[in-house]
Structure 1
Amino acid sequence: MDHRHVMRALSGLLVVLFVAMTSSTVVSVALPQIVGSLQGSQSQYTWVVTAMLLTSTASTPIWGRLADLFSKKLLLQIAIGIFVVASLGCGFAQDTGQLIAFRAVQGLGMGALQTLVQVIIGAMISPKERGRYNGYLGGVMAVATVGGPLLGGAIADVSWLGWRWCFFIAVPFTLPAMVMLARTLHLAEKRRPDVRIDYAGASLIAAGVSLLLLWVTFVDSDFAWISWQTGTMLGGSLVLLAAAVVVEARVAQPIVPLHTVRRRDPALAILASLAVGMAMFGGAVFLGQYFQIGRGHTPTEAGLLTIPMMLGVLLSSSISGRMVSRSGHVKPYIVTGTVVLTLGFTVLATIDHRTSLVVVGLGMFAVGTGVGMSMQNLVLVVQNTVPLSELGAASGAITFFRSLGGTVGVSVLGAVLANQVATDIADGLARLGIDAGGGTGGGATLDLAGMPPAVREVVRTAYGEATGHIFLVSTAIAVVSVIAASFLTPVKLRDSVDLEPSATSGESAEAVKAG
């Protein structure tokens, strides 16, 4: 496809991706209001985010593999349909249980859209040229990830709209994009009469990852680290994932081709993406809560305060994408991005409820810059190593691990935050001569409006202090991405959409050496 046709199709793809990515962040600033309105708890607060990430993560490699076997355009249309229906269900939810359930279904559509958009772009454009278009892709993902809270806060603060429109807003954008794609997206699809779906592998991967994420969510809050529940859930997850590896190694058309993810550069890129996803999603989800509960800002103000992170991602992804396409070299930008990401989290690890907003803004800008330089370029590293026939599975694999990192990050940091907040609130209430009575933990209400002023101040202080602790954890995680990125092979991105026919399967992962 020439540039004009690529841009026409890309416009629809970017709208769909923007709406899907926004759906995961648009509620982050509005969540205190949403959960308070539905009389939910801190545990349920985390689950509204985790449920979507869990199903998105578990289904991502499956969608990626299906894209190698069936029509990418048809799969994209099915994913849009799932996403729209689930978004309507979330908007009409009457309690937190219903909201969490529909968010889980919404995650299926989100996981598909994230993967399929990247696969389709990879099927249209060569890796070297893809850097320029990935700048647009990274910019959209950045604005959606960080700008979503601003949109959500604005919607939640408008009385005649209300928080339910945080979910309804996706529909009027997604349906026109679906029509646009039906007219502009034309791919040369190859019919595969030998298609076989690896149902066993898909089921084992989904079950193993889901069980692992459930354990991460509940451990240390509902049961101890050393307990029969831990042994059952963690042991069961390891057994299921080990069985999945055995199945994937034996079937002819695996969901996750092991020969792809075993190679050095894809393995390192996946490890770095896992860490970036864990640090980015895990940290960013709780910023809205920090600004509202810890600092006393409105949802709209909290959204505006996240602009430095959005600017960092938008600028760095656009600039680094063009520079990668111009030079063909990607490693320097990934290493620099992960270092800047780590420095940003180091700054945020020092914050409390009295920290200057200038310092908080500088930390967020650094985090956004690091994410923009590393996230999409890590996808390029993997896509550059595989033939077109495995593009979907490879893209699905790295998106899967990034989403897995994000889900684990939200769960782990949410547990750390909840436990720290529970302890700090109990201590603060004790100083006021009030017996906490066990009501300040994960089941405590987030409806601050119904609290006495003295108790409200204790809660604000607790959330402000605890937020710095979770960013300290994020800093340690980000260091892993720096180490993984530093060991990537310096390569030059190829100019062709597919690998050269002469490349053997053992060489297909090796990009052209720069020197």
Structure 2
Amino acid sequence: MSSQTAVPSVAEPMPHRQVLKALSGLLLVLFVAMLSGTVVSVALPQIIGALNGSQSQYTWVVTASLLTATASTPIWGKLADLFNKKLLLQISIVIFMVTSLACGFAQNTGQLIAFRAFQGLGMGALQILVQVVIAAMIPPKERGRYNGYLGAIMAVATVGGPLLGGLITDTSWLGWRWCFFIAVPFTAVAFVLLARTLHLPTVRRPDVSIDYWGATLIAAGVSVLLIWVTFVDNEFAWLSWQTAAMVGGGVLLLAVATWIETKVKEPVVPLHVIARRTPALAILASLSVGMAMFGGAVFLGQYFQIGRGYGPTAAGLLTIPMMVGVLVSSTVSGRMVSRSGRTKPYIIVGLIVLLAGFAGLSTIDHETSLVLISVYMLAVGVGVGMSMQNLVLVIQNTVPLREVGVASGAITFFRSLGGTIGVSVLGAVLANRVATSIAEGLAKAGIPVQGNAAAGGSLNIAALPEPIKEIVRAAYGDATGHIFLISAAIAVVGIIAAAFLKPARLRDTLDLTEQAARQETATKA
């Protein structure tokens, strides 16, 4: 398909049967991407313990992949607007497969963090390209129903991932390395399915331009700020030259990136899209959802294993209420959105429920009833399921088909950025509070601090003496609630942003009509 394909003013949607065939491969791709994160989430305490890593390294195993996924998402979204979407999806699958193998063979935490960073490139591509391809096939009003299927697959992967990761880690003849290897057969099957079922026209533009400088500066600026968050109040003080250099440098890099985005022909973050009222508010609300997705999965698994003493399999089972909430709410709300054509009521209700869940989780300690924790996790899951995909729909509904890739990339970028910042900030708060609690516990017990492990720097809990082990478990269990108090505050910001969204009906066509496009252009500010 080397010839240029003409794009009609209002594109025709695919027949339902053809959509379902293509959707089978797309859903498997999404399943693979989600599974890779959730399989590892429960196994991470065991992985970092086996590699003799610390709490900061624990956080960076997650943050590294999130950061590169976040930084690359707008580029993949832009490429999807310019090149063959199917080919890009297949390339991202290969990247993901190779890096998953590399993570499985890592010999230390440094290698694992590096390989996870490269794996994030594939994860970022899969997350955005699946949404872009679906947007190219299905009108926004009908997309709510299919988003229900997406939510269901995400929930199955999120529920099954921790269970699978726990079983793999608890099985002696497999071991934690298979938490990474397990993705390979799924990616291979997804590659074959997409080759056979996905057929999209190739739209080539002669004026192709990718803003690599903008993407690089954004990634560098965010990285510097996240590194500062990780080390501040531990390696150096809040008021210090290191803080001034890192914060000042990070802000300067982001300021230059913003300036570049206003000058280049094809910005990686489309300021003309995100500066509009509706996309800007949807992006702000997505930040809180991003923190919910990543913070819940990362730190609840650690809470159940280290703070409560459960094994990986049991920890996976204990996270089921949150995943059930995502499954049910995303499926039901998706169908209701397709029937009514309205998204705002479901987004607001979802974010309010999300706030309630976080508020509940902020009260937990190492002795809280598991029934109460399950109720709080269910609320978080319901909130994520009702708001996450509907916020994507809000933005996709306001842009023409030619900008769906870059618009979807923008909201996914900021949601992932929220998750990346959330994991880094929450991880830093948790690490500092745990270190303080362990030091106080050891002092009360009259036990001298002996090395990094005794101070809580190592997550190899099994190697600690019994009295110290109990102090460490209590410290992690009690500290976890405080990080969700921060999440609750962020959720309030999301609710306020969603409240100011303009009520709008989802369109029935794939592309904006000429009249709608003129109205959208007139209201860019």
In structure 2, give the amino acid aligned to 1:190: V
TM-score between the two structures when normalised by the length of structure 1:
0.96
Question: What's the CA shift for 1:81?
Answer: 0.8
Please state if 1:495 is matched with 2:518. no
The match for 2:263 is 250
The match for 2:220 is 207
**Quick one: structure 1 residues 284 and 27, their matched pair in 2 at CA, closer, same or farther if it must change by over 3 Å?**
same
The match for 2:90 is 77
- Structure 2 spans left out of the alignment, 5+ residues: 1-13
SS of alignment partner, residue 439 of structure 1 = helix
Please state if 1:187 is matched with 2:195. no
The match for 1:228 is 241
Q: Which moved more, 1:189-198 or 1:480-489?
A: 189-198
Checking the alignment, whether the CA contact within 8 Å between 1:51 and 1:101 is kept in structure 2 is yes
SS of alignment partner, residue 329 of structure 1 = coil
Alignment counterpart, residue 290 of structure 2, candidates 257, 277, 285: 277
Please state if 1:424 is matched with 2:444. no
Checking the alignment, whether the CA contact within 8 Å between 2:453 and 2:460 is kept in structure 1 is no
The match for 1:42 is 55
Checking the alignment, whether the CA contact within 8 Å between 1:61 and 1:256 is kept in structure 2 is yes
Q: Which moved more, 1:226-235 or 1:365-374?
A: 226-235
The match for 1:486 is 499
The match for 2:399 is 386
The match for 2:134 is 121
The match for 1:241 is 254
Q: 2-side partners of 1:391 and 1:426: how far apart?
A: 52
Checking the alignment, whether the CA contact within 8 Å between 1:221 and 1:442 is kept in structure 2 is no
Alignment counterpart, residue 36 of structure 2, candidates 23, 40, 50: 23
Checking the alignment, whether the CA contact within 8 Å between 2:68 and 2:118 is kept in structure 1 is yes
Question: What's the CA shift for 1:21?
Answer: 1.6
Deviations 1:86-122 (A, max 9, x none): 0000001111111111100000100011010001100
Checking the alignment, whether the CA contact within 8 Å between 1:334 and 1:377 is kept in structure 2 is yes
Deviations 1:196-216 (A, max 9, x none): 222222222222222222222
Checking the alignment, whether the CA contact within 8 Å between 2:75 and 2:210 is kept in structure 1 is no
In structure 1, give the amino acid aligned to 2:254: L
Q: 2-side partners of 1:420 and 1:504: how far apart?
A: 52
The match for 2:80 is 67
Please state if 1:11 is matched with 2:32. no
**Quick one: structure 1 residues 482 and 9, their matched pair in 2 at CA, closer, same or farther if it must change by over 3 Å?**
same
**Quick one: structure 1 residues 262 and 505, their matched pair in 2 at CA, closer, same or farther if it must change by over 3 Å?**
farther
**Quick one: structure 1 residues 443 and 222, their matched pair in 2 at CA, closer, same or farther if it must change by over 3 Å?**
farther
Give the share of equivalent positions with the same residue, in percent. Answer: 73
SS of alignment partner, residue 452 of structure 2 = coil
Q: 2-side partners of 1:428 and 1:189: how far apart?
A: 63
Q: 1-side partners of 2:482 and 2:454: how far apart?
A: 17
SS of alignment partner, residue 285 of structure 1 = helix
The match for 1:294 is 307
Deviations 1:405-453 (A, max 9, x none): 1011111111111111111111111122112257368872111221121
Q: Which moved more, 1:237-246 or 1:485-494?
A: 237-246
Q: How does 1:359-374 map to 2 (within 5 A)?
A: 359-374=372-387
Alignment counterpart, residue 52 of structure 1, candidates 65, 72, 93: 65
**Quick one: structure 1 residues 267 and 345, their matched pair in 2 at CA, closer, same or farther if it must change by over 3 Å?**
same
The match for 2:168 is 155
Q: 2-side partners of 1:122 and 1:136: how far apart?
A: 14
The match for 1:109 is 122
Q: 2-side partners of 1:353 and 1:506: how far apart?
A: 55
In structure 2, give the amino acid aligned to 1:365: L
Deviations 1:449-472 (A, max 9, x none): 211211111111111100111111
Question: What's the CA shift for 1:250?
Answer: 1.8
**Quick one: structure 1 residues 188 and 215, their matched pair in 2 at CA, closer, same or farther if it must change by over 3 Å?**
same
Alignment counterpart, residue 414 of structure 2, candidates 394, 401, 413: 401
SS of alignment partner, residue 342 of structure 2 = coil
In structure 1, give the amino acid aligned to 2:216: S
Q: 2-side partners of 1:287 and 1:193: how far apart?
A: 49
Checking the alignment, whether the CA contact within 8 Å between 1:422 and 1:440 is kept in structure 2 is no
Deviations 1:358-404 (A, max 9, x none): 00000000000000000000000010000111111100010001100
Q: 2-side partners of 1:51 and 1:167: how far apart?
A: 15
Q: 2-side partners of 1:238 and 1:140: how far apart?
A: 38
Q: Which moved more, 1:398-407 or 1:226-235?
A: 226-235
In structure 2, give the amino acid aligned to 1:387: P
**Quick one: structure 1 residues 161 and 437, their matched pair in 2 at CA, closer, same or farther if it must change by over 3 Å?**
closer
Question: What's the CA shift for 1:509?
Answer: 8.6
Checking the alignment, whether the CA contact within 8 Å between 2:54 and 2:458 is kept in structure 1 is yes
Checking the alignment, whether the CA contact within 8 Å between 1:25 and 1:144 is kept in structure 2 is yes
SS of alignment partner, residue 76 of structure 1 = helix
RMSD between superposed Cα atoms in Å: 1.6
SS of alignment partner, residue 492 of structure 1 = coil
Question: What's the CA shift for 1:504?
Answer: 4.2
SS of alignment partner, residue 90 of structure 1 = helix
Checking the alignment, whether the CA contact within 8 Å between 1:263 and 1:509 is kept in structure 2 is no
Q: 1-side partners of 2:523 and 2:310: how far apart?
A: 51
The match for 1:456 is 469
Please state if 1:173 is matched with 2:186. yes
Checking the alignment, whether the CA contact within 8 Å between 2:400 and 2:517 is kept in structure 1 is no
In structure 1, give the amino acid aligned to 2:412: T
Checking the alignment, whether the CA contact within 8 Å between 2:456 and 2:472 is kept in structure 1 is no
Alignment counterpart, residue 229 of structure 2, candidates 198, 208, 216: 216
Q: 2-side partners of 1:456 and 1:46: how far apart?
A: 21
SS of alignment partner, residue 507 of structure 1 = helix
